[in-house]
Structure 1
């Protein structure tokens, strides 16, 4: 028994996924395989004989179970690893999807903003186009007016200016020296044939100085006569030119007035024509008038009539529709009339609302104007109050100054004496008034000043002495007055 050894055959997977029972083989003998119970008994015996280190574990008592557990453990580990990997990949995909959604949201917001901006730009462009259209219409109207104004042709004759060319045609008369030179030129030229113009003129000038007055007299008389004729002609021409100028001015004024009247008349006619042609601008808020029953019917029938009659004119289609409408019975017309009635009722309601809005707008405008007037009145009243205050302050200050002056002006205070000139003027005035009755003050003052200037130093000294005496008396009086004032203040 000691020499015997137990060999355990480990089962392997077959192609049919089946398992074979464990067999105990004896290498020394070629005996058949033992049963399971016998094998277990032999194993127990061997375990008793073997050492504890060599003893098999109790788990190995059931080799089939051990084999099953060993195979199932790696499968479970693989499944758990795959589950973890799939979970991680799912979380990763979810995160990526969330990021993508966030990006899409941001892009959507950006596109919405861009669309809004584009809509605003389109609105602005539409408004600009409308404004440009209105401006073009205005310009076209003005252009039409100007073209119409070009057709203006006045029915009148303009004044012809009579004053052609500047200055007077008549020449000035030559003086006596030149007349004498004309007579003497040939003689002096014969005497001095080689002399030039300058030398001849010098000789004539020297000779004219030596001529007596009697010889010059006939030339002077000729000059005077020619001068009188020339002056008369000039005066006549001046008078004629002034008269013609006045005539031209009057004629110009008349023609201008006639031209203005014709132009205004033409302008009125042109404006009437343009008003007839141009339509009034319609209020966009005002509701449109509803169509009548006939127009509803004709609009409904127009397309069919045009298609049936081979695209005839609209006028012909309208005529046919009118004839059909006439031939229709009351029952056939009834639906169109009901629609027209409903539309009219709706239009009347909308018109009432529109009128109320217009009235409210007018009232609001009126209220705003009244408020503005109130504000303006308040501002005006405030300004008036300020002005009254300033006037009152100025008045009070003036009154205070006058009161101070009255308080300061003591009746007991001695007055300043008159100067030497004033003393002289008093006496001189009396004498001059007696001598020249009814004389003016200005002439009196002038005469007094002249007399004062004509006085000698001795006479002035007399008046200066009188003024100095009066000044000394004034100084003494002022000393006494100041002393009395100080005593009163002390008491």
Structure 2
């Protein structure tokens, strides 16, 4: 009998290590390919069976199911959609990485939590395209077959579209670039550009005229070619005109006012718009320098013009909102900077507010002295505080006496300034200097912040019992505060306030507009009532009212928060005549303070 030997069992995982017979002919090579293909098929079958067994043992869990409320998930989607650029052409995952998740974060959810939640949602939705969806894009592509989605916008130009002509400077640049690069072999392109720019600035007008003529000839040739192109492709010309229409329709409502510098720049640019060698960047830099070097007397002309335009805008906005009740204007910043406001007031004769304490005067003198220049800026106030503490009581009193004299002089000058103003401007000046009220917050009721977020100050209207007799109740600061005042009227606690803020975020735009309009009406009514209240006061009542305000502010600064509140009171009462009275009264007690209170006063400065 013929003996048969059993083959040894081969582990599947060792198939890759089995040696293949080396073939000497092409037929043998073909057989080796068949062996390798069979081997790969066997491996794939084994792999799929192992995967199936693993899934039976370890079924998929539902741990990654989003556990946020549906309302919050919808809000997250809206915020993500609002942060996607209009002309987005990135893959979904690349765009998700580039989104500003700090802006998307809301409520108690941090930026990281919002991003992680989106990544979990992303895994559960379809991320590939169907053929039908690709066909929709292909239908649009048929009308412009020269385009390619994966090419840049420059490469997607129509092949027959004429190239734009070069400007005067660019013609000069292209002519000199190679020459400058050869003369300076180690110079990079940025330095080459700067060098050519200087050459162009120093070019005489006669030589520059040559490049101006070349630019004009190129412009004329370009316009002729564009006419022929539009005649040959009228459908493209119509598309270009249609694409510009929505941009013009985006400007809804009255035109926003411009700043003094923008008015100045626009006026100067209009005088050069017909110049053949017009270079916007060069002219902008030129007029920026001219604005910086302009005298205050000339600058005030543009500032006054900007203020007139701003008041016109406010009137036009009121009329437009009356005609369009659903219109919600975007918040517009004042056209004047702090320096420009101070300049207008200084030219109008408004006196400068003096220091309100002996320590403030001493600090101001020391900061301007030569001996402080050799001390680091961060250590100067500490050194001034140390020197002030070393002074005797009489020395401190001498500084306080100077302050009292300066305050008396300031009150006389400020009263003269108020008399010189028209009635409406006078009331506006008094109202603008109306001090803000600080609200004391119990430390125990403050919830500990879990993550770094912007503080939302809950500014509530003052209670009627704290107001002066006949004084109107101040309105809420913004629409959110008005909403929160209504929302938290029944139960005022931290959880209720956070709930109110979240409810405000989920409120429809129409409801927010309604609250903004209501707040606008309340503020207008308050201004009218406050003007009537001020007019009704006698001189004695006005002084008493000023003293009462100062006492309230000082009362709010007691305890551990005295330093910060004192600093806030000084900033709030800046440029106020009524507060000057209270400063002079409070200054009488400055000399009787002990060393510890002097230390607090110095730290608050």
* Interval of TM-score (by shorter of Structure 1 and Structure 2): under 0.3
State TM-score, norm by structure 1.
Answer: 0.19
Structure with a larger share of its residues in helix: 1
State TM-score, norm by structure 2.
Answer: 0.16
Relative contact order higher in (CA < 8 Å, ≥ 6 apart): 2
Higher Rg of the two aligned structures: 1
